[in-house]
Amino acid sequence: MDKKIGFIGCGNMGKAILGGILKSNRISKDNILVSTKSESSKKNIEEEFLIKSTLNSKKVAQFSNILFLAIKPNIFKDILLDIKEHINKDTIIISIAAGISISDMEKWLGDEYKIVRTMPNTPALVGEAISAICPNKNVSTSDLQEINNIFNMFGKCEVLEEKDFHGFIALCGSSPAYVFMFIEAMADAAVKLGIPRNKAYKMAEQAILGSAKLALETGKHPGELKDMVCSPGGTTIEAVAELESGGFRAAIIKALEKCAEKSKNM
Protein backbone atom coordinates (compact mmCIF):
# COMPACT_ATOMS: atom_id res chain seq x y z
CA MET A 1 0.00 0.00 0.00
CA ASP A 2 1.42 3.37 -1.00
CA LYS A 3 -0.91 5.59 1.03
CA LYS A 4 0.61 8.03 3.50
CA ILE A 5 -0.59 7.34 7.03
CA GLY A 6 -0.47 9.92 9.80
CA PHE A 7 -1.04 9.64 13.54
CA ILE A 8 -1.94 12.63 15.65
CA GLY A 9 -1.32 11.43 19.18
CA CYS A 10 0.25 8.08 19.94
CA GLY A 11 -0.69 6.80 23.37
CA ASN A 12 -1.20 3.15 24.26
CA MET A 13 -3.81 2.45 21.58
CA GLY A 14 -2.06 4.55 18.94
CA LYS A 15 1.14 2.65 19.62
CA ALA A 16 -0.69 -0.67 19.39
CA ILE A 17 -2.10 0.23 15.97
CA LEU A 18 1.18 1.71 14.75
CA GLY A 19 3.12 -1.32 15.95
CA GLY A 20 0.66 -3.68 14.28
CA ILE A 21 0.90 -1.82 10.97
CA LEU A 22 4.69 -1.82 11.06
CA LYS A 23 4.86 -5.52 11.94
CA SER A 24 2.76 -6.31 8.87
CA ASN A 25 5.61 -4.97 6.68
CA ARG A 26 3.04 -3.72 4.16
CA ILE A 27 3.58 0.01 4.76
CA SER A 28 6.93 1.73 4.24
CA LYS A 29 8.19 3.62 7.27
CA ASP A 30 8.71 6.59 4.94
CA ASN A 31 4.94 6.68 4.46
CA ILE A 32 4.19 7.11 8.17
CA LEU A 33 4.39 10.31 10.21
CA VAL A 34 3.43 10.78 13.86
CA SER A 35 2.88 13.94 15.87
CA THR A 36 3.36 13.99 19.63
CA LYS A 37 2.79 16.62 22.30
CA SER A 38 6.29 16.72 23.79
CA GLU A 39 9.91 16.38 22.79
CA SER A 40 10.35 13.40 25.11
CA SER A 41 7.43 11.47 23.60
CA LYS A 42 8.69 12.38 20.12
CA LYS A 43 12.07 10.88 20.98
CA ASN A 44 10.45 7.77 22.44
CA ILE A 45 8.37 7.16 19.27
CA GLU A 46 11.42 7.58 17.02
CA GLU A 47 13.54 5.24 19.12
CA GLU A 48 10.86 2.59 19.58
CA PHE A 49 9.53 2.46 16.01
CA LEU A 50 12.36 4.01 13.97
CA ILE A 51 9.99 6.33 12.13
CA LYS A 52 9.64 10.08 11.56
CA SER A 53 7.78 12.18 14.10
CA THR A 54 7.04 15.83 14.71
CA LEU A 55 5.53 18.19 17.27
CA ASN A 56 3.47 19.82 14.52
CA SER A 57 0.02 18.24 14.10
CA LYS A 58 -0.75 20.45 11.11
CA LYS A 59 2.23 18.96 9.28
CA VAL A 60 0.81 15.46 9.85
CA ALA A 61 -2.61 16.56 8.60
CA GLN A 62 -1.07 17.91 5.38
CA PHE A 63 1.04 14.76 4.94
CA SER A 64 -1.71 12.16 5.32
CA ASN A 65 -4.01 10.32 2.94
CA ILE A 66 -5.25 8.38 5.95
CA LEU A 67 -5.21 10.24 9.26
CA PHE A 68 -5.54 8.48 12.62
CA LEU A 69 -6.73 10.72 15.45
CA ALA A 70 -5.41 8.86 18.50
CA ILE A 71 -6.05 11.66 20.98
CA LYS A 72 -7.96 11.90 24.24
CA PRO A 73 -11.65 12.87 24.01
CA ASN A 74 -11.20 15.95 26.22
CA ILE A 75 -8.82 17.61 23.72
CA PHE A 76 -10.27 16.09 20.55
CA LYS A 77 -12.37 19.05 19.47
CA ASP A 78 -9.59 21.63 19.99
CA ILE A 79 -7.07 19.62 17.97
CA LEU A 80 -9.56 18.88 15.21
CA LEU A 81 -10.42 22.56 14.83
CA ASP A 82 -6.71 23.45 14.86
CA ILE A 83 -5.85 21.11 11.95
CA LYS A 84 -9.11 21.51 10.01
CA GLU A 85 -7.73 23.84 7.33
CA HIS A 86 -4.79 21.51 6.69
CA ILE A 87 -6.77 18.33 5.98
CA ASN A 88 -7.29 17.46 2.33
CA LYS A 89 -10.93 16.75 1.45
CA ASP A 90 -9.91 13.31 0.09
CA THR A 91 -8.16 12.34 3.32
CA ILE A 92 -9.87 9.60 5.31
CA ILE A 93 -10.07 10.66 8.95
CA ILE A 94 -10.07 7.78 11.42
CA SER A 95 -11.05 8.42 15.03
CA ILE A 96 -10.36 5.97 17.84
CA ALA A 97 -11.66 8.31 20.57
CA ALA A 98 -14.33 6.85 22.83
CA GLY A 99 -17.41 9.01 23.18
CA ILE A 100 -16.77 11.13 20.06
CA SER A 101 -19.52 10.47 17.51
CA ILE A 102 -19.47 10.90 13.75
CA SER A 103 -22.02 13.70 14.10
CA ASP A 104 -19.70 15.48 16.56
CA MET A 105 -16.85 15.36 14.05
CA GLU A 106 -19.09 16.46 11.17
CA LYS A 107 -20.31 19.39 13.28
CA TRP A 108 -16.76 20.53 14.03
CA LEU A 109 -15.27 19.85 10.59
CA GLY A 110 -18.17 20.11 8.18
CA ASP A 111 -20.13 17.27 6.64
CA GLU A 112 -18.04 17.06 3.46
CA TYR A 113 -15.14 15.19 5.08
CA LYS A 114 -14.55 11.44 4.98
CA ILE A 115 -14.82 10.16 8.54
CA VAL A 116 -14.53 6.68 10.00
CA ARG A 117 -15.21 6.05 13.65
CA THR A 118 -13.37 3.01 14.96
CA MET A 119 -12.78 1.08 18.13
CA PRO A 120 -9.79 -1.29 18.11
CA ASN A 121 -8.42 -3.19 21.08
CA THR A 122 -4.87 -3.56 22.37
CA PRO A 123 -4.09 -7.00 20.85
CA ALA A 124 -3.36 -4.90 17.75
CA LEU A 125 0.18 -4.88 19.08
CA VAL A 126 0.53 -8.60 18.31
CA GLY A 127 -1.57 -8.55 15.14
CA GLU A 128 -4.69 -9.99 16.78
CA ALA A 129 -7.01 -7.02 17.30
CA ILE A 130 -10.73 -7.08 16.77
CA SER A 131 -11.92 -3.65 15.66
CA ALA A 132 -15.28 -2.07 14.93
CA ILE A 133 -15.47 0.46 12.10
CA CYS A 134 -18.30 2.79 11.09
CA PRO A 135 -17.96 5.10 8.06
CA ASN A 136 -19.92 8.25 7.35
CA LYS A 137 -21.78 8.84 4.10
CA ASN A 138 -18.74 10.33 2.31
CA VAL A 139 -16.65 7.16 2.62
CA SER A 140 -16.88 5.18 -0.62
CA THR A 141 -16.85 1.42 -0.99
CA SER A 142 -13.23 1.56 -2.17
CA ASP A 143 -12.31 3.84 0.77
CA LEU A 144 -13.86 1.37 3.17
CA GLN A 145 -11.94 -1.49 1.58
CA GLU A 146 -8.69 0.43 2.14
CA ILE A 147 -9.58 0.91 5.79
CA ASN A 148 -10.45 -2.78 6.08
CA ASN A 149 -7.06 -3.63 4.57
CA ILE A 150 -5.27 -1.46 7.11
CA PHE A 151 -7.17 -2.83 10.09
CA ASN A 152 -6.59 -6.39 8.86
CA MET A 153 -2.86 -5.70 9.12
CA PHE A 154 -3.17 -5.92 12.89
CA GLY A 155 -6.15 -8.24 13.35
CA LYS A 156 -9.73 -8.49 12.17
CA CYS A 157 -12.46 -5.88 11.82
CA GLU A 158 -16.22 -5.69 11.53
CA VAL A 159 -18.39 -2.89 10.14
CA LEU A 160 -20.95 -1.96 12.80
CA GLU A 161 -23.66 0.64 13.11
CA GLU A 162 -22.58 3.44 15.41
CA LYS A 163 -25.35 2.65 17.90
CA ASP A 164 -23.69 -0.73 18.54
CA PHE A 165 -20.33 0.73 19.58
CA HIS A 166 -21.20 0.77 23.29
CA GLY A 167 -21.82 -2.96 23.20
CA PHE A 168 -18.66 -3.50 21.19
CA ILE A 169 -16.59 -1.56 23.72
CA ALA A 170 -17.91 -3.82 26.48
CA LEU A 171 -17.44 -7.01 24.46
CA CYS A 172 -14.11 -6.34 22.76
CA GLY A 173 -12.59 -2.96 23.62
CA SER A 174 -12.41 -3.71 27.33
CA SER A 175 -12.33 -7.50 27.24
CA PRO A 176 -8.53 -7.92 27.22
CA ALA A 177 -8.65 -6.74 30.84
CA TYR A 178 -11.20 -9.43 31.70
CA VAL A 179 -9.13 -12.10 29.97
CA PHE A 180 -5.95 -11.04 31.76
CA MET A 181 -7.80 -11.25 35.07
CA PHE A 182 -8.94 -14.76 34.12
CA ILE A 183 -5.37 -15.78 33.25
CA GLU A 184 -4.15 -14.40 36.56
CA ALA A 185 -6.86 -16.24 38.51
CA MET A 186 -6.13 -19.52 36.68
CA ALA A 187 -2.42 -19.15 37.40
CA ASP A 188 -3.09 -18.40 41.07
CA ALA A 189 -5.14 -21.58 41.30
CA ALA A 190 -2.38 -23.55 39.57
CA VAL A 191 0.20 -22.20 42.01
CA LYS A 192 -2.06 -23.22 44.90
CA LEU A 193 -2.12 -26.70 43.35
CA GLY A 194 1.70 -26.79 43.25
CA ILE A 195 2.60 -25.67 39.69
CA PRO A 196 5.45 -23.10 39.49
CA ARG A 197 4.12 -19.62 38.73
CA ASN A 198 6.15 -18.97 35.58
CA LYS A 199 4.86 -22.22 34.07
CA ALA A 200 1.32 -21.56 35.33
CA TYR A 201 1.06 -18.28 33.43
CA LYS A 202 2.38 -19.78 30.19
CA MET A 203 0.08 -22.78 30.37
CA ALA A 204 -2.99 -20.66 31.20
CA GLU A 205 -2.23 -18.30 28.32
CA GLN A 206 -1.78 -21.14 25.84
CA ALA A 207 -4.95 -22.87 27.05
CA ILE A 208 -6.97 -19.70 26.36
CA LEU A 209 -5.28 -19.08 23.01
CA GLY A 210 -5.89 -22.66 21.92
CA SER A 211 -9.51 -22.64 23.04
CA ALA A 212 -10.26 -19.40 21.17
CA LYS A 213 -8.56 -20.74 18.05
CA LEU A 214 -10.56 -23.97 18.25
CA ALA A 215 -13.82 -22.00 18.42
CA LEU A 216 -12.83 -19.70 15.55
CA GLU A 217 -11.55 -22.41 13.22
CA THR A 218 -14.23 -25.05 13.80
CA GLY A 219 -17.14 -22.61 13.85
CA LYS A 220 -18.82 -24.81 16.46
CA HIS A 221 -21.05 -23.28 19.13
CA PRO A 222 -19.11 -22.60 22.35
CA GLY A 223 -21.64 -24.71 24.26
CA GLU A 224 -20.93 -27.68 21.99
CA LEU A 225 -17.19 -27.28 22.48
CA LYS A 226 -17.68 -27.06 26.24
CA ASP A 227 -19.76 -30.24 26.21
CA MET A 228 -16.96 -32.04 24.34
CA VAL A 229 -14.69 -31.50 27.36
CA CYS A 230 -17.28 -32.37 30.01
CA SER A 231 -17.33 -36.15 30.49
CA PRO A 232 -20.20 -37.53 32.63
CA GLY A 233 -19.16 -37.50 36.27
CA GLY A 234 -15.74 -36.15 35.31
CA THR A 235 -13.42 -33.45 36.53
CA THR A 236 -14.41 -30.71 34.07
CA ILE A 237 -18.15 -30.78 34.81
CA GLU A 238 -17.26 -30.52 38.49
CA ALA A 239 -15.38 -27.28 37.76
CA VAL A 240 -18.14 -26.01 35.47
CA ALA A 241 -20.77 -26.63 38.16
CA GLU A 242 -18.68 -24.72 40.68
CA LEU A 243 -18.31 -21.77 38.28
CA GLU A 244 -22.07 -21.75 37.72
CA SER A 245 -22.78 -21.83 41.45
CA GLY A 246 -20.51 -18.82 41.84
CA GLY A 247 -22.47 -16.83 39.27
CA PHE A 248 -19.76 -16.97 36.59
CA ARG A 249 -22.01 -16.15 33.61
CA ALA A 250 -24.11 -13.64 35.51
CA ALA A 251 -21.01 -11.78 36.66
CA ILE A 252 -19.68 -11.54 33.09
CA ILE A 253 -23.01 -10.34 31.73
CA LYS A 254 -23.35 -7.74 34.48
CA ALA A 255 -19.78 -6.52 33.93
CA LEU A 256 -20.37 -6.00 30.20
CA GLU A 257 -23.63 -4.19 30.89
CA LYS A 258 -21.86 -1.86 33.32
CA CYS A 259 -19.11 -1.21 30.80
CA ALA A 260 -21.59 -0.38 28.03
CA GLU A 261 -23.55 1.87 30.39
CA LYS A 262 -20.39 3.79 31.28
CA SER A 263 -19.57 4.16 27.58
CA LYS A 264 -23.03 5.64 26.90
CA ASN A 265 -22.57 8.18 29.71
CA MET A 266 -19.10 9.37 28.73
Q: Judge residue 251's burial from the number of C-beta atoms within 10 Å of its C-beta, 0-12 exposed, 13-18 middle, 19 or more buried.
A: exposed
What is the dotted CATH code of the domain comprising 5-160? 3.40.50.720
Q: Where do you find CATH 1.10.3730.10 in the chain?
A: 173-265
DSSP state of 91: P
Q: Where do you find CATH 3.40.50.720 in the chain?
A: 5-160
Of 118, 157, 169, 153, residue with least CA distance to 139:
118
pLDDT (tens digit, 9 = 90+) per residue, 5-35? 999 998 888 998 998 889 888 899 999 999 9
Termini Cα distance of the chain: 36
- CATH class given for the domain over 173-265: mainly alpha
107 CB contacts (<8 Å, ≥6 apart)?
none
pLDDT (tens digit, 9 = 90+) per residue, 157-188? 999 999 999 999 999 999 999 999 999 999 99
Confidence at 44, pLDDT banded by 50, 70, 90: very high
